[in-house]
Amino acid sequence: MANGYWQMYREKLRTPEEAVKVVKDGDWVDYGFFNGKPVTLDKALAARKDELKNVVVIMAVTLPPIPEVAVKDPQGETFTIIDMHFSPITRAMQQMRPNVFYNPLLFGEGEFYYEKKAIYPYKVGHHKNYKDVLFLRTGPMDENGYFNYGIHNAITHVQIKTTPIVVLEVNNNIPKALGGAREQVHITEVNYIVESENEPLAELSPVEPSEVEKKIASHICAYLRDGDCIQLGIGGMPNALGKMICDTDLKNLGGNTEMLVDSFIDLVESGKMNGLNKEFERGKVVYSFALGTKRLYEWIDNNTALASHGVEYVNHPLNISKIKNLVSINQCLEVDLYGQVNAESIGFKQISGTGGMWDFVTAAYWSEGGRSFICLPSTRTDKHGNTHSRIVPYFEPGTIVTCPRTMVHFIVTEYGAVCLKGDSTWKKAEKLISIAHPDFRDDLIKAAEKQKIWRRTNKIN
């Protein structure tokens, strides 16, 4: 049958210009998430700007290069862009053109959103199940007729299942990510195939942790135990934590993380993270997508220590809360004295998105023996060189609450880690002030008193 698959491949093969002809006026076009974002097809679609009208393009965590549908349509006359998790590229697009919007998403529910069509509320009654075309970048077809998603499993399976027209853009640089589940699509399930110029995959350069991030990591490290199953995010602090763990006596750690980052390489190769205590996918690090360096992508290729899964399996609290000793480690922008967490906006300016933070914060606390840590440096410096506290009396107008105060477990700065779960408002305020930068503690005390959530006579023993 192998020869039959290659015959089918040739029959479905199109030039980029031919393939994008499937897009019609008013269509909603899904782009693959992360490095699944098409590059060749995006260029060809952008070239049709003057032929089309009212086309919506949906993406998530938009990576370089900047999509041509934005570059070639600077006034937003033809293409409206929706991103389900803002990235630096999305923020740049929003600055350069109108019609760039955020679609809030609980990542663990991402597959449900597509299956239930909740993500397309504006098109009730539309004739093609609310969306029309999927452009997805994959690895090359294997001898059994399968195209592997590589480092962007996420919700790809459901995108394919719920979209009438599926066009694959083949890129030979995409590593083969082993399952897991839902990590590949068969040629019989796609309509057309386009061969790309095999552009390099977008990478995230290694972030050297600052001294502040190292201190934050050291506070978290003190709470880790043998056999913990760890979720790590991106940035200097997770990298620092990964390196610190390698220098400890911790053993038999597991990994269950929506985003696989470079720090997992050292954890696995050092033998610290072997997954032997996990109830699910014993011996494997489970993940839904990966972003990092070329070293990470090469490590993923055909690696039997890893399991790529759809995001419902990796993230949804009802599933992962069954993992014992699940430890969730995420970062945020600021925390107010009520214990609310903002991880996605500066006032009205969208910076990031909810993503899977809510999923893992919830699941880690529900997990037997689990812990959830939300981390942030105690201060930030603005463009004028002024220093501001990241622990604030209250959020400015427009600021988004990513995690409500009722669900927050641990908050960590370079000055310590405090557990807020179950505390009264004055206990939360006092604990948060104790890990704020010393230069701002007096002002925070005055603010807490003014807001009637704390008094100097209240002391925690």
Which residues are known to be catalytic? 258
Between the CA of residue 157 and those of 19, 23, 108, 448, what are the distances in Å? 21, 21, 14, 48
| Terminal-to-terminal C-alpha distance of the chain | 73
Alpha carbon of residue 117 to chain centroid: 21
CB atoms within 10 A of CB 188: 9
For residues 344 and 400, the answer to whether their CB atoms sit within 8 Å is: yes
Give 335's strand partners.
341, 391
Residue listed under structure tokens 């929506």: 258
For residue 214, what is the enclosing H or E element? helix 211-221
For residue 40, what is the enclosing H or E element? helix 40-46
Residues 347-382: b if buried by 16+ CB within 10 A, e if exposed: eeebbbbbbbbbbbbbbbbbbeebbbbbbbbbbeee
CB neighbours of 83 closer than 8 A, spacing ≥ 6?
Answer: 58, 59, 60, 61, 62, 90, 100, 101, 102, 103, 353
Angle between helices 438-450 and 425-434 in degrees, nearest 10: 160
For residue 373, what is the enclosing H or E element? strand 371-375
CB neighbours of 448 closer than 8 A, spacing ≥ 6?
Answer: 337, 393, 426, 429, 430, 433, 454
What letter would DSSP give residue 208? P
Residue 109, burial from CB neighbour count under 10 angstroms (0-12, 13-18, 19+): buried
